[in-house]
Amino acid sequence: MFGVQKKKSPNHIQRADENLFFRGRGIVRFRPLLFLSLSFGLGIFFACLFGLIALVGASVFLLAAAGVLAYRIWKKKFAVGFLLFAALLCLFYALGCLSFSVRIGAFERSPEISGECSVAGTVEEIGESKEYTLLTLGDIWLIDGAGNSFRPNAKLQLYIYGEVPAAEIGSAAMFDAEVQTYDAWAYGRVNANAVIGNTRYRASAAADKVVFSEGEGVGVFTAVRRAMRGVLFANMDEATASVAYGMLTGDSGYMDEDALQNFRYGGIAHIFAVSGLHIGIIYGLLSALCKKCRIRNIVRVPLVFAALCFYAGVCGFSPSSVRALVMCTVAMLAEAGGLQYDRVGSVSCASLTVLVINPVYLFSVGFQLSVAAAAGIVIVGGHLTRLLRKIRFLPQKVCSAVGVAFSAQLATFPILIDCFGYVSGISFFLNLVFVPVIGAVYSVLFCAVALSVLLQFAAPVFLFIPGYLLRLSVMPIVMLEFKVLLICGFSFGSCAVLWYLFLFFLSDKVNLKPAPKISFAAVLCALLIAAMMFQNFNIGMESVMTLHAYYGSNIGLIRSSDGDYLIVYGEADGRHIEQVFLKEGITELRGAIFLTAPREANTGIPVILQYAELQTVYVPADSQLIDSFRTVEIRYESGVFVFGDAYAQFFSDELLYLNIRGAGIVCDGGADEVPALPECDLLIANTENDAVRKACSPRAEVYFEKTAEKMSVYRAGDLQIGWKNDIISVKDAG
Amino acid sequence: MKALFGKIALFGALLLAAAAVSLLPSLAPPKAGATRETTDAGLPYDASYNVLIRGDEVGSPGVYRVPYGCTYGQLFALASVEPPAGYDLSAPVSFADAVLVGGEYYIYFVL
């Protein structure tokens, strides 16, 4: 008890693989940092799902710990250490819960403001891109249309369109504009960027409508970015300079959107997120330089750390750069201190550091991808590399490169599918071939740009070769079309947990014998397949309609027996439409209806045609829409007509009645004049409209935009409406 | 022993620092409720519609409330009428012939 061990007989020989299921001491090696960071992350996650009541979940830890403790006492193993660690796990879990709840509470403490306001604020950050200048204003003062004055403890993002006189940090900006409020939860996910930056409000204004006072000058990081941008665009062509600037700072705002999208389709857009690749290269260069100059560790470590910190600051302290910075620092300290460097511990420490700084990072796609890729390489990559090395004809470097690239792909797969709707089928090949090349070019480019910023008169000389190399290396990416090689049409949702469990199980971090390992892996695989089928196929539903929205781009999809049909309620946004079509696997639409004015329908049809074939657009008989599309039939309908498995009738340009399996649905795209309508079971509309509601007396309502106390896509994310056994079910589609 | 206490003190200080960094910057009461919002609702509905059937050959003319999916054969049997030519008796009654009257849809059959 408490550390007293059973006496062994003198003739007893302990075999290392005595256990039926595993070899050695246990199934999984004890990794304290990993467990602590997991418990902190779990606390954050459950606080998001359940609120402060999630603190009760700590009792689950305690119950489990009590059970294990009893077992260890029974087996006469050391228990005090285990007890202490269990308490520590509970503490970290509780800390994660509390920190998340406090951050969200602080964000939501600032009042909701909307409408035309007079705004004054101090410029704290400046972001520049080709299309607009983005200012982050702090210390803001708003006066709304009713004369109410607000001084919230939050920031406002101001998008300025047009030529902006050089705004400076510390200057005051004054303007009148329509102000919108960001919520902590919108469209089915945490609004991570807004909460992390405490950016509660947003507004847009033309450049000539904003008045600036004198400021203190730009901050040092902004000054460095401006200097880098200056030397690059002065000494390279615009396309190459924008790629170089994106790679060096993580800011791809100056790149051509089509070129950037091709990088995304190729699965290599991560070169524009400053992370392990970039920080690792700079760390290697600086370490080599310090070793060459024989600088001692006591000077080298803080010097390199300061340089990496500064670089992360130039890149805006993005979560990927902070994660990479922490991992490099841990490696550096371990090397300097003569300690063994544990990569799993390092990734865990880096993730925990970022989450402690701001727990909302857990919901940031950039953080998720960064940690998943690093964890995948560390947990699966090594094992995969060792397996590949058993193939005799494969060189070791190739095995290592394949192992790293493939493990990163596997680990980021569910996140990419769920967030962007697709994964590039050629991504593995491009990451294997292209990324090492771009890494080499980056190292040369970084040195050249650093020297160019310091010695601007010699910039043309320094940047000539790197510019040429960069242009050559990105040429295949820019010229080739990668959109044809996309894996899409499904989503993981909560099945991602099973995917990661499966990967972890197959890695060498789980110390099981082959037979039990294969058995459990087969069970996990079967569970994953079953769960994915349940997630992605509408099993049991007689009819299904899905609703999708993103800041005004509101659409409904009806999956019929003869194909897919689309109803557009608002202004179709190309990026949103593309993401939905990729996620839902839609390449062809049998029919579409635009519940908008004819002018919006006229501009919306080409947007849809960019991403799917469209056979027929249905419009009211008296519609002003002109039939000018060669590949699309415009059908003018009066009375009831067939729309897939449904029946439909127009009541105006913006009002449509649907009958789906006997249920009446009124679809409102924002009607100003409301004629007499039939009673309906369900009303689907952009926003609340009392006139429409009175006219059709719906038994239930679903809205796209923010609506108090009603079902909305804004709150719950994409919705699935299903029909079965004379019941309409409305639930989250995710 | 000294080294152990040193490590414990260092760990404790790191823990306090982590707690301070994660909790203090906001200085606001925590949000008690869940941040995530979900939707899960079920709505039973009356999947039936009105059919008005009349004509000289109709045995029982009038308005019938038939369930969704009612076939032409079932409808004609209900109205005691000999099925006219041109109708697939096993096919469900099409809503495409419906007309809105007084806020309700009716499918008219005049035989």
Domain boundaries, chain A: 32-107, 110-218, 222-360+427-486, 493-536, 543-732
On whether the CB atoms of residues A196 and A106 are closer than 8 A, the answer is no
What's the token pair of residue A198? 């405490």
pLDDT digits (tens, 9 = 90+) for A199-214: 999 999 998 899 988 7
Q: Do B39 and A711 touch (CB under 8 A)?
A: yes
B34 interface with A at CB cutoff 8 Å:
yes
> Which residue in chain B has the smallest CA separation from A644?
B96
- Taking the CA of residue B60 and the nearest CA in chain A, the distance in Å comes to 24
Quote the mean pLDDT of chain A.
88
What average pLDDT does this structure show over B81-95? Answer: 87
What average pLDDT does this structure show over A679-703? Answer: 95
User: Above 50 in pLDDT, residue A724?
Assistant: yes
Domain A110-218 classification at class level: mainly beta
Residue from A640, A694, A701, A732 to probe the interface with B (highest B Cβ count within 10 Å): A640
> Which residue in chain B has the smallest CA separation from A681?
B45
B102 interface with A at CB cutoff 8 Å:
no
The candidate with the shortest Cα–Cα distance to A372, out of A445, A276, A233, is: A276
DSSP H or E stretch at residue A177? strand A172-181
Domain-located, residue B7:
no
Give the total number of structural domains in chain B.
1
What are the residues whose beta carbons fall under 8 Å from the beta carbon of A33, sequence distance 6 or more? A344, A345, A348, A349, A352
Q: How confident is the model at residue B26 (pLDDT cuts 50, 70, 90)?
A: low
pLDDT digits (tens, 9 = 90+) for A320-375: 888 888 888 888 888 787 776 678 888 898 899 889 989 999 999 988 998 999 89
On whether the CB atoms of residues A254 and A278 are closer than 8 A, the answer is no
Which domain range does residue B62 map to?
48-110
On whether the CB atoms of residues A547 and A555 are closer than 8 A, the answer is yes
What average pLDDT does this structure show over A113-128? Answer: 89
- Taking the CA of residue A135 and the nearest CA in chain B, the distance in Å comes to 23
Residues of chain B positioned with their CB less than 8 A from the CB of A185: 35-37
CA torsion angle A369 A372 A374 A377 (round to 10): -130
Residue among B18, B31, B37 whose CB faces A105 most closely: B31
Q: Do A663 and B38 touch (CB under 8 A)?
A: no
Q: Do A185 and B38 touch (CB under 8 A)?
A: no
Least confident of A292-301, A551-560, B15-24, B49-58: B15-24
CA torsion angle A317 A320 A325 A327 (round to 10): 150
**Which amino acid makes up residue A721?**
I
User: Above 60 in pLDDT, residue A5?
Assistant: no
CB pairs under 8 A between A and B: 143
On whether the CB atoms of residues A605 and A632 are closer than 8 A, the answer is yes
**What count of other Cβ atoms lies within 10 Å of the Cβ of residue A422?**
22
On whether the CB atoms of residues A682 and A701 are closer than 8 A, the answer is yes
- Taking the CA of residue B105 and the nearest CA in chain A, the distance in Å comes to 8
The candidate with the shortest Cα–Cα distance to A412, out of A286, A541, A500, A506, is: A500
- CATH fold of A543-732: Metallo-beta-lactamase; Chain A (3.60.15)
Q: How confident is the model at residue A482 (pLDDT cuts 50, 70, 90)?
A: confident
Residues of chain A positioned with their CB less than 8 A from the CB of B69: 662
Residue among B28, B35, B49 whose CB faces A48 most closely: B35
Residues of chain B positioned with their CB less than 8 A from the CB of A719: 39
What's the token pair of residue A460? 């043309």
**Hey, which residues does B110 pair with through a beta bridge?**
B54
Residue from A92, A726, A732 to probe the interface with B (highest B Cβ count within 10 Å): A726
Percent of chain A with pLDDT over 90: 55
**Hey, which residues does B107 pair with through a beta bridge?**
B51, B98
User: Above 60 in pLDDT, residue A164?
Assistant: yes
What are the residues whose beta carbons fall under 8 Å from the beta carbon of A264, sequence distance 6 or more? A420, A424
Q: Do B23 and A356 touch (CB under 8 A)?
A: no
Domain-located, residue B15:
no
> Which residue in chain A has the smallest CA separation from B34?
A51
**Residue A487 to residue A534: CA distance in whole angstroms:** 19
B91 interface with A at CB cutoff 8 Å:
no
Q: How confident is the model at residue A3 (pLDDT cuts 50, 70, 90)?
A: very low
Least confident of A3-17, A577-591, A684-698, B59-73: A3-17
> Which residue in chain A has the smallest CA separation from B39?
A731
Residue among A106, A359, A647 whose CB faces B22 most closely: A359
For residue A218, the model assigns a pLDDT of 63
Does this model's pTM top 0.90? My answer is no
pLDDT digits (tens, 9 = 90+) for A515-555: 888 888 899 999 999 999 988 887 778 899 999 999 899 99
Residues of chain B positioned with their CB less than 8 A from the CB of A98: 22-23, 30
Residue from A55, A99, A348, A712 to probe the interface with B (highest B Cβ count within 10 Å): A99
For residue A276, the model assigns a pLDDT of 85
> Which residue in chain A has the smallest CA separation from B104?
A678
Q: In what order do the strands lie in the sheet with A719-724?
A: A633-637, A613-620, A588-594, A563-568, A553-560, A543-550, A719-724, A727-732, B40-44
On whether the CB atoms of residues B52 and B63 are closer than 8 A, the answer is yes
> Which residue in chain B has the smallest CA separation from A359?
B22
What's the token pair of residue A627? 């039939």
Residue among B34, B38, B41 whose CB faces A51 most closely: B34
Residue among B28, B44, B104 whose CB faces A102 most closely: B28
Helix residue ranges per DSSP H, A315-426: 319-336, 343-357, 365-376, 382-388, 396-420
Helices A496-506 + A514-536 axis angle, to 10: 160
For residue A640, the model assigns a pLDDT of 93
User: Above 70 in pLDDT, residue A620?
Assistant: yes
What's the token pair of residue A102? 């406090």
**Residue A318 to residue A309: CA distance in whole angstroms:** 11
- Taking the CA of residue B98 and the nearest CA in chain A, the distance in Å comes to 7
Residue among B21, B43, B47 whose CB faces A662 most closely: B47
- Taking the CA of residue B6 and the nearest CA in chain A, the distance in Å comes to 17
For residue A2, the model assigns a pLDDT of 30
- Taking the CA of residue A297 and the nearest CA in chain B, the distance in Å comes to 22
**Residue A520 to residue A384: CA distance in whole angstroms:** 19
Residue with tokens 């060792």: A386
What average pLDDT does this structure show over A665-675? Answer: 94
**Phi/psi at A721 (nearest 5 deg)?**
-110, 120
B4 interface with A at CB cutoff 8 Å:
no
**What count of other Cβ atoms lies within 10 Å of the Cβ of residue A54?**
24
User: Above 90 in pLDDT, residue A597?
Assistant: yes
SS3 readout for A109-125: HCCCCCEEEEEEEEEEE
What average pLDDT does this structure show over A416-434? Answer: 89
Domain-located, residue B56:
yes
User: Above 60 in pLDDT, residue A8?
Assistant: no
